[in-house]
Structure 1
Amino acid sequence: MWTWLTHESNAQRKFIELIFDRTGKYPNWDPPSEIPQVGSYGLIDKDTGNFFPKGSIYSNEFQPLLLRAGIDPKSDEHYPKDCPEESEFTTWSKNVKRIELKVESHAGVPGIAEASIKGTWQVKKGTTGAVLLMNKPRIKNITSDVLGKLSNIELLQSMHLVTKVFYCPAFSMYLSDKSGENISIALLASAPVVAPVGTAGAMAEMKWWSDSQAGLARNGCKTEHCFTPLYELRHVRHRRNRRATPSPERTGEQLWVSPPLPWAPLDEDGQEVPVYINASIMSY
């Protein structure tokens, strides 16, 4: 039995694990919710994989800590910076292979040949696979120099910090079952719609199409960058005792590492694999 039908948290954690293993970043199971935001600090819930913020470096209460770290709260130094827009972001997990979508096999789908994002993903039978697609993503991130200063704040040394968030107007998420399904996905453009006041020209309305018959799929399309499907968490690197041969001095972003997932490895059904300890090895 596919346990995800009754335990969505298993699916959520499995999707997070598969995408994290590939990207080193956390997928947001609910992209329409802007959770988390850049500058939030907190912890990942072990049972669900949700990020629970404890606070933000942009709050009034945090300003004294910024000052002691050498950051002027009245400046924009520590605020997230916008990166140039990319055309797309596509990633898929292990046991998944991307193959060319055969347009002729889907000739009845209007506009599929001109789709800005399209492909077929082949999942190895008996395994679980994940796919995450974003159209025109923009990244907000905290700069390396600011991260170096933030690493000295004691409160953050026991927390995870959201250092980067992906924003996009269209996303598609897919988590397979173990049937070995081939799934085709495409982002189609329909007739242009009237542009908002203050903008030039008309914009094409987008919509996702797929032929998935199994697994779990989520997607969304808007004209503005309102979805947050992916974000980056960092944790202050633990300082080690001085060695005989000291390592090169770390600065900025190098003072932070990606925190590991807070659960044991998951099986193909999204359940934690039991860890057994050989008692004879532990005996003396």
Structure 2
Amino acid sequence: MTSNFKFPFWPRKQSSRKFIDLIWRTTTRWANWDPSEKFQPGDFGYTDHETGRFHRTGNIYLDPHIGPIAQRYKPQKGEVVEKYIANTGNAVAISISAGGHVDALSAAEVLLQGCWKFNRARGALLAMYKYSLVTVPDEFFNEDLSSFECLKGKQIVTQVYVCPAYALYLSNKNNETFSLALRATSPTGVPGISAGSHLSMNWVSHDVSGLFHHGSNANSSFYPLLVIKEVRRLGSRRREAPEPGVPVLPEGTPGWFNIEPPWGDLDEEGDEDSRQYADDSDTDF
């Protein structure tokens, strides 16, 4: 499995928190800072306030108490989707030819490509190739789960994005342009094979001035993005993350909602504004 971190700047634990916060604001999904770390639907645990990373303490399907109920609702795997790209509003997609670098690759080699222009504000980008979504069925959450001690105060991973190749980028506040392409290669590195018959993949990037993390393996999996839910009363947080198509419930109604960051607004370095505090006190079990 090929996975690579590059740290040209900003080697601070707040980097993960800043990236997760930016992606959440764009997607209401929770980024996995280390996509090689495997998560599964039904994992439960908590998110770390300092780093934003999710820490698993158990899984509903394996827990001896709640497992018999969870086993009635097996995880469901969706169809493979060609690509997923999430970027913050200050990352403007431009023509790949503007970078002048990736054009040398033949069209048959390129599986996914893009070029983005960032401004001086910190920006984030997450790309996945041929991902599928594995989900805990909604019916599980219609069960009465309030009596299970293992879930008290915990959050549950309800959806996991699984893919053979991902790339994440956190910009450096430098009016930068970032070019990215996923290339299909043969085992001997000979170019020109068709995308449908590729046996290996690798990322090609240029103009990297921020934090770039990527991985690719046609025979393995990465887990770059999660949907995590918790029980709380609607309207109990300053920043709600409503799901499209979900009926609007009266304010104060308890239910399972996408988690939101457990910190207040962050500055460009990922530090929390000391004048603001997230309210994490209103959970129902």
Q: Which TM-score band applies after superposition, normalised by the shorter structure? A: 0.7 to 0.9
Residues 6, 136 of structure 1: alpha-carbon distance in 2 compared, 3 angstrom cutoff: closer
Q: Point out where structure 2 has 5 or more consecutive residues left out of the alignment.
A: 1-7, 189-195, 236-246, 278-285
Tell me the amino acid that sits aligned with residue 261 of structure 1. Answer: P
- Picking from 5, 8, 12, the partner of 1:8 is 12
More strand by percentage: 2
**Displacement, 1:10?**
1.4
More helix by percentage: 1
1:122 and 2:123 correspond: no
- Picking from 27, 37, 40, the partner of 2:40 is 37
Aligned runs of 1:108-119 on 2, under 5 Å? 109-111=104-106, 115-119=110-114
Aligned runs of 1:64-75 on 2, under 5 Å? 64-65=65-66, 71=69
Partner of 1:281: none
- Picking from 87, 93, 113, the partner of 1:92 is 87
Residues 209, 52 of structure 1: alpha-carbon distance in 2 compared, 3 angstrom cutoff: same
| Identity score, percent | 29
Tell me the amino acid that sits aligned with residue 266 of structure 1. Answer: L
Q: Point out where structure 1 has 5 or more consecutive residues left out of the alignment.
A: 194-200, 241-246, 278-284
CA distance in 1, matches of 2:60, 2:33: 24
Whether the 8 Å contact between 1:138 and 1:166 is mirrored in structure 2 is: yes
**Displacement, 1:158?**
1.8
CA distance in 2, matches of 1:265, 1:160: 21
Q: How many residues align?
A: 248
Q: Secondary structure at the match of 2:179?
A: strand
Larger Rg: 1 or 2?
Answer: 1
Spell out structure 1 runs of 4+ moving beyond 3 A: 4-7, 62-67, 150-155, 201-204, 247-250
1:131 and 2:125 correspond: yes
1:19 and 2:31 correspond: no
Whether the 8 Å contact between 1:12 and 1:49 is mirrored in structure 2 is: yes
Whether the 8 Å contact between 2:65 and 2:148 is mirrored in structure 1 is: no
Aligned runs of 1:1-284 on 2, under 5 Å? 5=9, 7-34=11-38, 36-59=39-62, 62-65=63-66, 71=69, 76-102=71-97, 105-106=100-101, 109-111=104-106, 115-124=110-119, 126-149=120-143, 151-155=145-149, 156-191=151-186, 203-238=198-233, 255-275=255-275
